[in-house]
Amino acid sequence: MLCEITVEPGYLKADLFNRQTAEEARDALAAIAAEARKHACSQILISVHASRPLFKVEQYGIPDYFKALGDILKYRIALTGDSDDLRLSQQYIELLARRNGVNVRSFPNEQAALAWFRDRRWSPDRRQRQKPWEGPERRQHLSRRSLKAPVRIPA
C-alpha cells in the first residue's frame, strides 16, 4: 500500500493506493489523523485508488479512527473512490461515522468534495471570521416617542 499525504491550501489530501486489508486502512487513517493534528487541518480529503472495498468496517474498528482525530466536530472528512464498489463501501463508512457524530461525506469525485470544503455555510465560526463594520452607522436611532403619531384632542 502507498499512502501519500500532502498539505494543500485549506485542506489535507491523502491518496491511498493498492490498499488491500483493513489493517492497512487503519494504519493509513492513523497517519492521516497524525498529519491533520500536526498541520492543524480541519478539512481532510481521502482519495482511494485501486483498492479493495471494505464492508466490515465496524468489525475492523475503522469508524473509531475518525474519532481519534480529537475534537471530531471541527473536522470535515471527504471520501472519494475510483470504483463503484469503493464508493459503496465509503457510503457505508459515511453512514456509520455520521451516526457516531463524525462529519464524513462520500463524493463521486474530488471536485465535488472540494466544493463541499468551500461551502461557507458549514463553518460554525464564520461570524467571527468576518471583519467588523468599519464604516459609519447606517441605522438611524430614533426614539420611540418620535415614532408615535401626534395625539389629537377633539375640540
DSSP the chain: -EEEEEEETTEEEEEEES--SHHHHHHHHHHHHHHHHHHT--EEEEEEES----S-HHHHTHHHHHHTTSSGGG-EEEEEESSHHHHHHHHHHHHHHHHTT--EEEESSHHHHHHHHH-TTS-TTHHHHSPPP-S---S----HHHHSPPP----
> For position 101, what pLDDT does the model report?
79
Give residues with Cβ within 8 angstroms of 93, minimum separation 6: 54, 57, 62, 63, 79, 104, 106
Asked whether 59 and 91 are in contact (CB, 8 A), the reply is no
* Chain segment 86-107, per-residue pLDDT in tens: 888 888 888 888 887 788 899 9
> For position 116, what pLDDT does the model report?
92
pTM score > 0.85 for this model? Answer: no
> For position 119, what pLDDT does the model report?
83
> For position 74, what pLDDT does the model report?
73
> For position 55, what pLDDT does the model report?
72
pLDDT over 50 (residue 128)? no
Dig out the grid coordinates for 120 from the structure: 461557507
pLDDT over 80 (residue 122)? no
* Chain segment 19-73, per-residue pLDDT in tens: 888 888 888 888 888 898 899 888 999 999 988 777 776 666 666 666 665 455 5
Asked whether 38 and 65 are in contact (CB, 8 A), the reply is no
Asked whether 102 and 67 are in contact (CB, 8 A), the reply is yes
Handedness of CA 84, 5, 92, 20 (dihedral sign): positive
* Chain segment 32-45, per-residue pLDDT in tens: 888 988 998 889 99
> For position 127, what pLDDT does the model report?
46
